[in-house]
Amino acid sequence: MTISQKIQNAEQRIKELQLLIRHWKASEASSEHVALELIEGLVIEDYEFIAS
């Protein structure tokens, strides 16, 4: 496995962990609105990352 592949795998794992953390936070949110905001934040971050 090359360094580039290792970096890609690590970045993918980080993204998966961030999604898991947001899921946990959303499940503990005080309202559906707050949960939706957490999830939307992830989608916006993904879009901005892909666009750049």
Structure confidence at residue 27 (pLDDT): 76
The H-or-E segment that residue 34 falls in is helix 32-51
Q: What is the per-residue pLDDT across 25-37, written as a single tens digit (0 to 9) for each? A: 777 766 777 667 7
Reported pTM: 0.57
Q: List the chain residues with pLDDT less than 50.
A: none
Structure confidence at residue 10 (pLDDT): 94
Structural domain containing residue 27 = 3-51
- Closest to 39 in 3D by CA, of 15, 22, 18, 24: 22
Count of the separate structural domains present in the chain = 1
Structure confidence at residue 12 (pLDDT): 92
